[in-house]
Amino acid sequence: MTRARAFTSDGSEPPLLDVAVIGGGPAGCSAAIRLASGGLDVAIVNDASGTQSNFDVLLTSVSAQALRETPTLELAVHQAIETIRLRIPGRPLRTIDDVGAFSLGRGVLNDALFFAAMSLGVRLRADTATAIDRAEWGFEIHSAEKRTPLRARHLILAGGGGGLGASPAADGTDTDDGARRALAVAARCAGESSPGDTGMEMVFVPPDATALRTPALSVWAVPGPAEGTFTVRVAVSNYEGEDHEALLAHGLDALRAEAPGFGELRPIGPLVAGELDTGYSRLRLEDAEGLLVGDAAGLVNPFTGEGLSYALESGALAAAAVLAHRDKPAAAQHAYVRRIDFLFAGNVEASRRAVRRDHLAWRFLSDAAESDHPFLAKGRRAILLPEGLRGITDPLIAQLDSQLQALAGPFLVACDEVMVSTIRDDWPFLARMAVSGAGRSDERLRPALLMLGAALAAGGELDVRCATLGGGLELAMMGALAFLGAAPDVQEQRGLDWSQVSIVVGGDFLLGQAARLIATFGPTVSWAFAEWLADLATLRAQRIAGCPGVPADATSAALYEFPARLGAELAGADATTVEALRDFGSECGRAFLHVDEVLALTGRRTRLDTTLEFLAANRLATDGIAPDEAARTAEQVTAARAATAQAEQQGRAAVERLSGSPGRELLEAFLVGVCGPAQV
Amino acid sequence: MSDATAEETGSVAFDPVAFAKQVSERIRSLTRSLGPELEPVVAGLVERPGKRLRSQLVAHCASLGEASSQKVVRAGAVVELLQVASLLHDDVVDQAETRRHAPSAHVAHGVESALLGGVACFALAGLEAAELGGPANRVTSRAVADLSRGEMLDVERAFDVELSAADYLAVVEGKTAPLFRVSCELGAVVAYLPTEVSRAVAAFGADLGVAFQVLDDCLDIEAAGTGKPAGRDMALGLLGAPVLCALQAADDRELADVLLSPEFDGSDMSQVCELVERHGGIAAARALAAERIERALDALEAVPAGPGRDRLEAIAQQLVGAPA
Residue-by-residue DSSP string for A443-465: ----HHHHHHHHHHHTT----HH
Measure in Å the smallest separation between the Cα of A558 and chain B Cα atoms: 14
pLDDT at A160: 66
Between A285 and B297, residue with greater pLDDT: B297
Q: What percent of chain A has pLDDT over 90?
A: 30
Determine whether the interchain pair A541/B92 forms a contact, defined as Cβ–Cβ distance below 8 Å.
no
Picking from A418, A475, A516 by the largest number of B CB atoms within 10 A of its own CB, the best residue to mutate is A516
Query: Which of chain B's residues have a Cβ under 8 Å away from the Cβ of A542?
Result: 35, 37-38
User: pLDDT (tens digit, 9 = 90+) per residue, A551-562?
Assistant: 999 999 999 999
Residue A168 has pLDDT above 70, yes or no: no
Between A402 and A550, residue with greater pLDDT: A550
pTM, entire model: 0.86
Query: Which of chain A's residues have a Cβ under 8 Å away from the Cβ of B151?
Result: 504-505, 508-509
Measure in Å the smallest separation between the Cα of B112 and chain A Cα atoms: 5
* Residue B115 contacts A where some CB pair is shorter than 8 Å: yes
* Residue B155 contacts A where some CB pair is shorter than 8 Å: yes
CA distance A255 to A249: 10
User: b/e per residue, B167-187, with b = 16+ CB within 10 A?
Assistant: bbbebbbbbbbbbbbbbbbbb
Between A432 and A161, residue with greater pLDDT: A432
Measure in Å the smallest separation between the Cα of B34 and chain A Cα atoms: 6
Distance of CA B12 to the CA centre of its chain: 27
Kindly indicate the confidence band of residue A353, based on its pLDDT and cuts at 50, 70 and 90. Answer: low
Mean of pLDDT over chain A: 82
CA distance A565 to A575: 11
| B110, B144, B158 member nearest A495 (Cβ) | B158
CA distance B161 to A29: 45
Distances (CA, A) of B77 to A425, B34, B183: 32, 16, 10
CA distance A582 to A458: 11
| A503, A526, A542 member nearest B37 (Cβ) | A542
pLDDT at A436: 57
- Cα A200–Cα A205–Cα A211 angle in degrees, nearest 5: 155
* Residue B122 contacts A where some CB pair is shorter than 8 Å: yes
Distance of CA B292 to the CA centre of its chain: 15
Residue of B nearest to A618 (CA): B112
Among A residues 536-595, those touching chain B with beta carbons less than 8 Å apart: 536-538, 540-542, 544-545, 547
Q: Which helix (H) or strand (E) holds A250?
A: helix A244-258
Quick one: angle between helices A498-521 and A428-435, nearest 10?
70
CA distance A93 to A76: 32
- Residue A604 · residue A632 · CB < 8 Å: no
Determine phi and psi for A236, rounding to 5 degrees. -135, 140
Residue of B nearest to A484 (CA): B112
Closest CA to A603 of A680, A518, A489, A497: A680
Closest CA to B185 of B122, B127, B136, B237: B136
* Residue B157 contacts A where some CB pair is shorter than 8 Å: yes
| Sequence-ordered list of residues with C-beta below 8 angstroms from that of B270, at least 6 positions apart, any chain | B224, B225
Among B residues 167-226, those touching chain A with beta carbons less than 8 Å apart: none
pLDDT at A429: 65
* Residue B97 contacts A where some CB pair is shorter than 8 Å: no
- Residue B286 · residue B215 · CB < 8 Å: yes
CA distance B94 to B99: 11
Measure in Å the smallest separation between the Cα of B182 and chain A Cα atoms: 14
* Residue B232 contacts A where some CB pair is shorter than 8 Å: no
Kindly indicate the confidence band of residue B6, based on its pLDDT and cuts at 50, 70 and 90. Answer: very low
Closest CA to A129 of A152, A97, A108, A107: A152
User: pLDDT (tens digit, 9 = 90+) per residue, A172-223?
Assistant: 333 334 445 778 888 888 876 555 577 888 898 888 777 767 778 889 888 8
Residue of B nearest to A511 (CA): B145
Residue of A nearest to B125 (CA): A530
Q: Which helix (H) or strand (E) holds A222?
A: strand A216-223
Measure in Å the smallest separation between the Cα of B150 and chain A Cα atoms: 9
**What are the beta bridge partners of residue A102?**
A59, A80
Among A residues 411-430, those touching chain B with beta carbons less than 8 Å apart: 426-427
Q: Which helix (H) or strand (E) holds A131?
A: strand A129-135
* Residue B258 contacts A where some CB pair is shorter than 8 Å: no
- Residue A295 Rama label (left phi>0; alpha psi -120 to 50; beta): alpha
Measure in Å the smallest separation between the Cα of B306 and chain A Cα atoms: 34
CA distance B309 to A111: 77
| Sequence-ordered list of residues with C-beta below 8 angstroms from that of A287, at least 6 positions apart, any chain | A173
Helix ranges, A344-463 (H): 352-367, 374-384, 402-423, 428-435, 447-457
| B37, B124, B265 member nearest A541 (Cβ) | B37
* DSSP-derived pairing of the beta strands A83-87 and A94-96: antiparallel
User: pLDDT (tens digit, 9 = 90+) per residue, B193-226?
Assistant: 999 999 999 999 999 999 999 999 998 888 765 5
| The amino acid at B222 | E
| B120, B127, B148 member nearest A512 (Cβ) | B148
Determine whether the interchain pair B120/A538 forms a contact, defined as Cβ–Cβ distance below 8 Å.
yes
Among A residues 195-234, those touching chain B with beta carbons less than 8 Å apart: 208-212
| A353, A494, A509 member nearest B148 (Cβ) | A509
- Residue A122 Rama label (left phi>0; alpha psi -120 to 50; beta): beta
pLDDT at A3: 45
Distance of CA A165 to the CA centre of its chain: 18
Q: What percent of chain B has pLDDT over 90?
A: 69
Please give the interface size between A and B, counted as residue pairs whose CB atoms are below 8 Å apart.
Answer: 181
Q: Which of A108-117, B29-38, B113-122, B199-208 has the lowest mean pLDDT?
A: A108-117
User: pLDDT (tens digit, 9 = 90+) per residue, A235-262?
Assistant: 888 777 778 899 999 899 999 888 877 8
